[in-house]
Amino acid sequence: MFIDAADLDPAATYRLLVGSVVPRPIAWVTTGRAPKPVNLAPFSSFAWVSQHPAMLGMTINTRASGPKDTARNIREDGQYVVNIARDDLMQKLHASSEWMDPEVGEAEALGLATSPSRVIDVPRLRDAPVSMECVYDRTIVFSPTGGEFIVGSVVGWHVDEAVLVDGRIDTELLRPLARLAGPRYTTLGTVTELPPVPGG
C-alpha cells in the first residue's frame, strides 16, 4: 500500500508517525521554578540533537487553548529536567500525561518525590535512575501544525550508581520504558551484542 503524504490530514499523519517511529524513548519532564508547583509530563517525540555539549530536543504540541504547561514553563524559567523512568513507574508516567490545572503539580498529586537539582532551580524526580538538568536553548517551529521543537543543553547529570557498570549506564539495569502508538508501552526486550564494525 502506498500513501501519498499530500492526501493526509494532520490526524492521519500523526497516526502513521506514531505507528512507524517505534519504540520511542520517553522524556519525563519536570518544569516549574518555585513558587510554581512541580509540573510533570511525558514526551516521546524525544531525541538528542548534539553529542557535546549534550543537547536534547522534543516536540511539544500546542493545545487549542494555548501552550502546554511544560512549554510555557520552559520558556518562562529557561530550565527543566529530563528524567528517564524505570519500567516500574509506567502507571505513574502514564497518569502524569493527564491534563491538570496549571496550579496543580503532577509530581505531588501522583505522590512522586522530588529532589533539588544542582545547577538549576527546577527539581528532578528523586526515583528516576537518570535525570538531566537542562537549560533552554531554542525553539524551532517547522510547520504551522507540527508543534514546537524545544531544545535544551544538559548542564548536569544525575545517574543512580545502581545502574552503572564500569562507568557506563547498563540498559538492563536502567530498565527504560518506551512508547508505542496510543496508550501502549514496551519494556526492554532481548539485548543482542554484535562485534564492533571496523571504521563504523
Tell which residue, 137, 133, 130, has the closest CA to residue 152: 137
Does residue 41 touch ligand FMN according to CB under 6 A? Answer: yes
The helix or strand, by DSSP H or E, that contains position 46, with its residue range, turns out to be: strand 46-50
Residues 122 and 57 sit within 8 Å (Cβ to Cβ): no
Q: What number of chain residues touch ligand FMN (CB under 6 A)?
A: 19
Among 87, 109, 88, which residue's Cα sits nearest to residue 41? 109
Minimum distance between the CB of residue 169 and ligand FMN, rounded to whole angstroms? 21
Q: Which residue has the cell 502514564?
A: 94
Stretch that binds ligand FMN, among 8-16, 60-68, 124-132, 165-173 (CB under 6 A): 60-68
Which residues touch 77 (CB under 8 Å, ≥6 apart)?
A: 31, 32, 33, 36, 121, 122, 136
Residue 39 found at the interface with ligand FMN (CB under 6 A): yes
| Sole binder of ligand FMN in the list 32, 37, 42, 152 (CB under 6 A) | 42
**Amino acid identity for residue 135 in this structure:** V
Q: Give the footprint of ligand FMN on residues 63-82 (CB under 6 A).
A: 68-70
Which of 30, 45, 83, 131 touches ligand FMN by CB under 6 A? Answer: 45
Q: Which is nearer to ligand FMN, 23 or 164 (CB)?
A: 23
Positions in the binding site for ligand FMN (CB under 6 A): 26, 39, 41-45, 58-61, 68-70, 94, 97, 99, 147, 179
